[in-house]
Amino acid sequence: MREFLLTLCVTAAVTYLLTGPARKFAIIAGAMPAVRDRDVHKEPTPRLGGIAMFGGLCAGLLTADHLDTLKHVFQGTGDVPALLSGATIMWVLGVLDDKWGVDALVKLGGQMVAAGVMVYQGLTVLWLPIPGVGTVALPEMWGTFITVALVVISVNAVNFIDGLDGLAAGMVCIAALAFFVYAYRLWYGFSVPDAAPAALFSVILVGMVLGFLPHNFHPARIFMGDSGALLIGLVLSVCMISITGRVDPDVLATQIASTSGSGHAINQTGAVHAMVPVYVVLLLPLTVIAIPLADLILAVVRRTWAGKSPFAADKQHLHHRLLQLGHSHSRAVLIMYFWAALLAFGTVAFSVNRTELLAVKVAMALCVVGILMLLFPRFRPHAPRVVERFVPPRYRRTAKVRDVLTDELVKEIAEQPISAASEPAIADGALLDKIGTGAHAMGRHSGTSGRSGSGAARVSRSTPRK
C-alpha cells in the first residue's frame, strides 16, 4: 500500500505543479474560446488542462517503474506501453481540439484509432464471466469490438459530463477510487496478480485528477478541455478493460472458493455469495460510469428525436437540469458526486462476503438522502452559532447585509460600468420625448409631460447610487 500512496502523491504533485504553467501557456496560445450559449461560466477561461494531466501520468508510471512491488507490472504484460500509446494519441487529439477545434467525426475516428493501437499491443478483452454459463472465451473479433466500444463510450461519457467546474474530474476520481479498492482486494485478498495493472492505473488516475481539482473547483481558473477529458476517459477505460477481460474468472473462482471454504465444504448459498466478486467484474465498469453513460444515452436520444446530430451541443445535460431546478453550481456538483459514489462504492461493498444485506440497507438509506437533496434545491443548512465566524456568511443564521456586502465588494460594484443593454436605446428615448406618456397623449396627465418625465428618468439614471 505504501508504494501506491507514493505513486499517487507523486502523480498528484506533478499534475498540480504543471497546471499553473499549462494555464499560462493556454492563455499565450489563445486556447480561450469565447463563452457560448450553452456554457455556465461567464468569462473566457483557458483550457489545455490535459497538458498537466499527461505530465502527471508519465510521472506516475515512471515512479512505479522504480518500485520493487510494482515493477513486475511493466515486465509481465504490455499494458503499460499500450496505455502510453493510446493516451498519447488521445491527448494530441484533445490538444488540437482545444486550440483549433476538431470535427466530431474526426474526433470519433481518432478515438477508434487510439483504441485500435492498444488492441494491437495486446490490451483487449479475452473472456467474460456470464452468470449461469461460466467463463466464455471471446473470439478475437469480438474482443476487439468490445474493447473499442468500451474506449469510445467511456471517453465520450466523460467528455459529455464535463460541463461544470470540477464535475468530470471529481466523478472520474470517485470511479477510479472504486476501481482501485476492488482491484487491490483481488490482488492481495485473493492473490490474483492479473489485477495489479488495474490497481496501478486506477491509483495513477486518482492522482491525476486530485492534482488538477484545486485549480478546477468553482470558480475554475482553468478547464481540462478535451485534452484532459479524452485523456482521463481513456485511462478509465483501460482500467475497465484490464480488470474485466484480463482477470481469469476461473482462477478468481478457485481462489475465492479456497478462501471462503477454508478446507471445509460450504453450502450452495455460500457458494453463490462467494462467486459475487467474479460477476462484479461485469457490473463495476457499468456502475462507475452509470451517470455519465446515462447522460450520454439521453443526449443521443434527445438530439436524434429532435432531428439533430447526436454530436450537436445543447444545454439539457443532467448537470444543466440540476441548475434549472434551482441548485447552485457547487451543490449540483456535489449531488452528482454523491450519486456516483453511491453507485460505485455500493457495488464494491456488495462484492464483499457477508455484507450484501448491510450494503443494500445502507444504499437504500443513502438513496433517500439523495432524493431529499434533489427535492430541496434552495435549502441551506445553517452552522451553529459557535462556529459562525469560521464559515461563509451565507451559512450564518445572523448574517447581515454588512457581512455579505464588504467594502471591497461595494467598491467593485460601484466601479462596474453600466452595460449598454441596461440603457434604453437612443431612438426609443427620442420617441418617448415626442409622444410623452400615455396619459399625456390622452389629455389626462397630472402636470407632468412626457418630455419632463423622460428627462427625470435620465436624471435619475445619471445620479450615482449610494
Give the pLDDT confidence score for residue 100 in this predicted structure.
86
Q: What is the pTM of this model?
A: 0.71
Mean pLDDT along residues 45-61: 91
Give the pLDDT confidence score for residue 285 in this predicted structure.
74
Distance CA 466, CA 464 (A): 6
Q: Above 70 in pLDDT, residue 149? A: yes
Give the pLDDT confidence score for residue 75 in this predicted structure.
76
Q: Above 70 in pLDDT, residue 416? A: no
- Quote the strand ranges of 108-160, DSSP E: 127-130, 134-137
Give the best-scoring range by mean pLDDT among 153-162, 226-235, 253-262, 282-291. 226-235
Which is higher by pLDDT, 425 or 25?
Answer: 25
Q: Where are the alpha helices (DSSP H) in 246-289?
A: 249-261, 268-274, 276-288
CA triple 285-289-291, angle to 5 deg: 145
Strand partners, 129: 135
Q: Above 50 in pLDDT, residue 449? A: no
Give the pLDDT confidence score for residue 57 in this predicted structure.
94
CB 173 within 8 A of CB 342: no
Give the pLDDT confidence score for residue 453 in this predicted structure.
44
Give the pLDDT confidence score for residue 11 in this predicted structure.
95
Q: Where are the alpha helices (DSSP H) in 30-69?
A: 50-65
Mean pLDDT along residues 25-35: 82
CB 83 within 8 A of CB 118: yes
Q: Which of 64-73, 229-238, 282-291 has the lowest mean pLDDT?
A: 282-291
Q: Above 70 in pLDDT, residue 392? A: no
Q: Above 60 in pLDDT, residue 254? A: yes
Which is higher by pLDDT, 15 or 267?
Answer: 15
Give the pLDDT confidence score for residue 62 in this predicted structure.
92
Give the best-scoring range by mean pLDDT among 141-145, 189-193, 418-422. 141-145
CB 339 within 8 A of CB 329: no
Q: Which of 14-28, 31-45, 159-173 has the lowest mean pLDDT?
A: 31-45
Which is higher by pLDDT, 28 or 416?
Answer: 28
Give the pLDDT confidence score for residue 357 in this predicted structure.
61
Mean pLDDT along residues 118-124: 89
Give the pLDDT confidence score for residue 93 in this predicted structure.
93
| Segment 353-383, tens digit of pLDDT | 555 566 666 767 777 776 666 666 655 556 6
* DSSP letters for 68-88: TTTHHHHHH-SHHHHHHHHHH
Distance CA 157, CA 177 (A): 18
Residues with Cβ within 8 Å of residue 207, at least 6 apart in sequence = 7, 8, 9, 10, 11, 12, 15, 56, 60
Give the pLDDT confidence score for residue 336 in this predicted structure.
82
Give the pLDDT confidence score for residue 459 in this predicted structure.
41
Mean pLDDT along residues 403-409: 53
Mean pLDDT along residues 441-452: 44
Which is higher by pLDDT, 206 or 292?
Answer: 206
Distance CA 250, CA 242 (A): 16
Among residues of the chain, what percentage have pLDDT more than 70? 62
Q: Above 50 in pLDDT, residue 422? A: no
Give the pLDDT confidence score for residue 263 in this predicted structure.
43
Rounded to the nearest integer, the mean pLDDT of the chain is 75
| Segment 55-103, tens digit of pLDDT | 999 999 999 888 887 877 787 677 889 999 999 999 999 999 888 888 8
Mean pLDDT along residues 133-148: 83
Which is higher by pLDDT, 346 or 442?
Answer: 346
Give the pLDDT confidence score for residue 99 in this predicted structure.
86
Q: Above 90 in pLDDT, residue 17? A: yes
